[in-house]
Chains A and B, each alone.
Chain A
Amino acid sequence: MLLTLNSPEAESYRRQIRDWLNKSVPEPWLNRSQEMLSSDEELDLKRNWGYSLYEAGYAGLTWPTVFGGQGLGPIEEFIFYEESAKAGAPESLDTLGKYLAGPAIMQYGTDGQKVRFLPPILAGREIWCEGYSEPDGGSDLASASTTALRGRDEDDYLVNGRKIWTSWGHIADRCYLLAKTSRELPHHHNLSVFLFNMRQPNVEVRRIRQITGDATFNEVTFENALATRDELLGVENGGWSLVGLTGPYRRIRFALNGLRQYGQLYALIEQLSNCTRESHLESIANSFQDRLETFRWHLMRLVELQANDREWYGPAAILRLTFSELAQEVTEVGLTAQCTEHDDYWRDRFLHCRSETIAGGTSEIQRNVIATSVLKMPRFGQVVRSPTLDSKSSGE
């Protein structure tokens, strides 16, 4: 496992990845700005990309070898994602399986669950969605009202309720489902996670058309749908701790999200630079390039902190906020670039990026989390004592 990005070994690994990407990224994907892909074609292409990654040994780079992964570290993963961004590679469809369900199963699953679920996730053969948000819950996940209840002496659960903003729910085979398993226990202690089977008749998926015109997320309704005992992850009513993950798996998830965000920013800002060359907006595009480069160095620092078992949560906690607001700024400038050839692109990206400051917890929630979890600031109404700030060190 690499410990630093600037080493001959890291360079050699980078060359290996670059060579593979250069010959493997599908032509139709690279040419899609000239020859548009239909939604179905794009879906197929991304699904196939997942298969290609698996066959080439690039799926689950940081998954332990015992679960079929490569057992590599965050630095190798960083290199892979950075080169993928530069090569314009697509993103596979199985991200929720690889970065959420998979790591959670490794950490909390039974042996049977590991054998049943991990191989198809790694191979891209089963697509997962995330069943967290509910129509009335907003960002307050602990207030879930979807129930998964079982009668006395019964093994299986009946699931009733609704989930919303479920990305890829319409094609998912499984759902990482958070549901209330007790009517009596208090908040946070009444939730469980299920490795829920989406392919059953009592699950209705309604596609939600977004402001972009696409429909990649959904509302999912459960009416007496079945969740078996074997699909319960961890212990009953212990689901809240599975939402955020802990230990090394939480680390992997944070870093990978940052790497995916870098890839998206890279594509946006490269396009903006192309569209604004020799125009009055060129200097603004250059300043975005500098902010992208700063984001890149921040990510590199983060993965080195992780690879060396240093405190990493604070630097990781700012990633989403930084990415989402920068992406929105870039698309706003793109809209005014007067590049007629890419007018459609910028309108689409502008609309698409509205979701970035909402999905996965709004920017306002992100800031609250940084304030309370990283900076240990008090909540409103809480009686406080001044913390002892280590005012002179960076804490690294």
Chain B
Amino acid sequence: MSLIPSIEFLDATKEFNRLLESLSPGPYSEEWFAQPQTEAWNALREGGWLLAGGAGSRDEELTNLLELAEVWGQHLIPLPFSATLCLMRWANSSDQPSVSPLTLAVPTAGGSAIAPFANIRGVEVVCDVELGLTLSAGKGTSPDIFAPSMPIAVVDRASIGPQEWLCTSIALFAAEAVGAARQCHNRALAYSFERSAYQQVIGSFQAIHHMAANMYRDLELAKSASLWAANAGDLEEALRAGTMAAELARSVAQKSIQVHGGIGFTWELGLHWYLRHVMAVESFFRHISLEHMREM
């Protein structure tokens, strides 16, 4: 597959971005994250974005979908968009229809299973990827809401299906992390142009130049690592690549906080939502048990 998105698709992602901006006006707050996102899901469905990967069409360019997931990651709408994209792509097209929010469940080392967003009302956990069978919605328990944009809940059992679907989903979650990091990078740059100290904008200080360069380097490499994940030969490789992308994305987010100084460390600025989202992706990858996956 090509490693760069098509020009036409890039144009489409701009439209997608505009939609997401209208759906998540910000600033983010715990109250906002707690609201039902029915309107947002309907807008995604009506815009045709949930079928962007082509229902049942596994040959669609995954690179394009990564671009979409990256744009999604720049906003923090608590919905399983990437998981749904992936599952729609892998499920049999004849069974696709409702386009409910879908998520996947993976086995953990402790023998249990976890699924992002499974605690959210209306989200269905897919149990058989190829057949499109789903468990009842909203059955996840004990959710970890460290990142409210990506809560992770405990569910009864892991999804089953060919390994490739999980590789695809790892790549898409990695791309989400890249998107969150890109937002942090852009916000740090914008802040460095506005904030003054010693009668200079801080963006003119060499120390900030060097931090910004490091952020940019890590962001670029994170994007490339997400492409590696999308092209991985097996699950183990996809996890290595996805983890690399998420680690690099975290590096960008934490540097962004440093550029912002004291305000970056506060709850009220809101940069931490992005950092937390990236850390949730990292944590999700870390909990996937390859050993248990192989047994399935």
Contact = CB atoms under 8 A, between A and B. Distances in A.
Please say whether chains A and B are actual partners in one complex.
yes
Interface of B: prevailing SS:
helix
Contacts of A378: 193, 201, 203-204
Interface string B1-35: 11111000010011001000100000000000000
Interface stretch (B50-58, B91-99, B206-214): B206-214
B192 interface: yes
Q: Which of B4, B71, B186, B227 has the most CB of A within 10 A?
A: B4
B220 A298 contact: yes
A377 B189 contact: yes
Contacts of A270: none
Contacts of B241: 290, 293-294, 297
Contacts of B14: 392-393
B95 to A, nearest CB: 30
B277 interface: no
Of B21, B67, B203, B221, most buried by chain A (CB within 10 Å of CB) is B203
Interface string B198-231: 0011011110111011101100110111011001
Interface stretch (A19-27, A127-135, A315-323): A315-323
Nearest to A321: B217
B145 interface: no
A381 B204 contact: yes
A106 to B, nearest CB: 27
Interface residues of B, number: 49
Contact of B189 (A381, A389, A393): A389
A392 B71 contact: yes
Interface stretch (A88-96, A170-178, A299-307): A299-307
B139 interface: no
B67 A394 contact: yes
A215 to B, nearest CB: 33
Interface string A356-380: 0000000010111011101101111
B190 A393 contact: no
Contacts of A372: 209
Contacts of B182: 394
A314 B216 contact: yes
A70 B240 CA distance: 37
Given A293-B228, A293-B241, A391-B183, A375 B213 contact: yes
B70 interface: yes
Contacts of B1: 4, 6
Contacts of A394: 67, 70, 182, 223
A143 to B, nearest CB: 19
Contact of B227 (A3, A301, A370): A301
B208 A377 contact: yes
Interface string A384-396: 1111010111101
B183 A310 contact: no
B157 to A, nearest CB: 31
Contacts of B4: 301, 304-305, 308, 310, 396
A381 B244 contact: no
Given A297-B227, A374-B216, A384 B244 contact: no
Nearest to A301: B3
A380 B216 contact: no
Contacts of A374: 216
B228 A377 contact: no
A158 to B, nearest CB: 39
A87 to B, nearest CB: 22
A5 interface: yes
B52 to A, nearest CB: 16
Most buried by A among B17, B217, B240: B217
A386 B195 CA distance: 10
A366 B213 CA distance: 9
Interface string A65-102: 00000000000000000000000000000000000000
Q: What 4 pairs between A and B have smallest CB-CB spacing?
A: A371-B209, A298-B224, A367-B213, A370-B213
Given A297-B241, A310-B4, A374-B216, 18 more contacts: A4-B2, A5-B3, A291-B244, A293-B240, A294-B244, A297-B228, A301-B3, A314-B216, A314-B220, A367-B213, A370-B213, A372-B209, A375-B189, A377-B204, A378-B193, A380-B200, A391-B186, A396-B5
